């Protein structure tokens, strides 16, 4: 799908990959609905993006997700692209996973994108075209000790997305996955368990990607409508 003139929703748009994606979409001619909980950051970003629209929403709450989609549709009159980017991590060994925190992470990383998708798809069906991009993680393709909680939920999102791609393709709607690698954002400083993980302390890691690089991959997914887009070739199944 082309970008110019399209209406796009980006969740988690206040920083990191979401912010970079919103900026790149706008540069390519899209009108962007910026969605997050951080009012100040969204207002600042909106001032930089022509015809953008700010919607403050807590994506842990089903009612707010539904209301967000209604507001965007009422404002723009259509929705062509949904980028489900909002999410958090939870990095602990399996024996230390707390069910309450895991459940909260499930609501944000899986249920939230699912509800958003369920709300926009009927709109896209009426328009006879649409693209949903769900942001997964390269860790969902690996077995890395300490991040089973996070990676397992991204695997659930993978399954939902790939199945939705098959179910909706006859309606001319594409559901695409993007698998980022480690990206230089605040993600690892805002883990749900309050932990912190420093990229700078891991000298043996390959080069860390920028949010702008991942944003390019997201636009590539929108353009090609491929089921899966990987940050790096070595990540492919």
Annotated catalytic residues are: 150
Ranges assigned E (strand) in the chain? 7-11, 31-36, 53-56, 81-84, 130-135, 173-179, 228-230
Spatial separation of the C-alpha atoms in residues 175 and 227, rounded to whole Å: 7
Q: Contacts by 184-189 with C-beta closer than 8 Å and gap 24+?
A: 184/208, 184/209, 184/210, 184/211, 185/15, 185/16, 185/17, 185/211, 186/15, 186/16, 187/16, 187/88, 187/89, 188/89
User: How far is it, in rounded angstroms, from Cα 223 to Cα 150?
Assistant: 28
Nearest 5°: the CA angle 20, 80, 141 is 55
φ and ψ at 108, to 5 degrees? -80, -45
Task: Kindly give the residue spans of alpha helices, DSSP state H, lying in 77-201.
Answer: 99-106, 112-127, 148-168
**Count of alpha carbons within 13 angstroms of residue 80, beta-carbon side:** 17
């Amino acid at each position: 799908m082309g970008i110019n003139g399209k209406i796009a929703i980006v969740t988690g748009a206040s920083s990191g990959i979401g912010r970079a994606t919103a900026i790149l979409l706008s540069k390519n001619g899209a009108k962007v609905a910026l969605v997050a909980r951080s009012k100040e950051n969204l207002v600042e970003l909106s001032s930089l993006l022509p015809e953008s629209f700010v919607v403050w929403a807590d994506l842990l709450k089903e009612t707010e997700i539904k209301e967000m989609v209604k507001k965007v549709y009422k404002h723009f009159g259509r929705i062509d692209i949904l980028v489900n980017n909002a999410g958090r991590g939870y990095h602990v060994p399996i024996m230390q996973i707390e069910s309450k925190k895991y459940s909260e992470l499930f609501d944000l990383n899986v249920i939230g994108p699912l509800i958003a998708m369920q709300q926009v798809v009927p709109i896209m069906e009426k328009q006879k075209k649409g693209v949903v991009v769900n942001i997964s993680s390269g860790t969902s393709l690996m077995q890395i000790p300490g991040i089973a909680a996070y990676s397992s939920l991204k695997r659930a999102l993978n399954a939902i997305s790939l199945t939705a791609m098959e179910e909706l393709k006859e309606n001319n709607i594409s559901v695409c996955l993007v698998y980022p690698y480690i990206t230089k954002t605040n993600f690892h400083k805002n883990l749900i368990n309050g932990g912190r993980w420093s990229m700078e302390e891991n000298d043996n890691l390959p080069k860390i990607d920028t949010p702008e690089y991942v944003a390019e991959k997201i636009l590539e997914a929108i353009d090609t409508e491929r089921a899966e887009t990987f940050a790096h070739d070595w990540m492919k199944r």
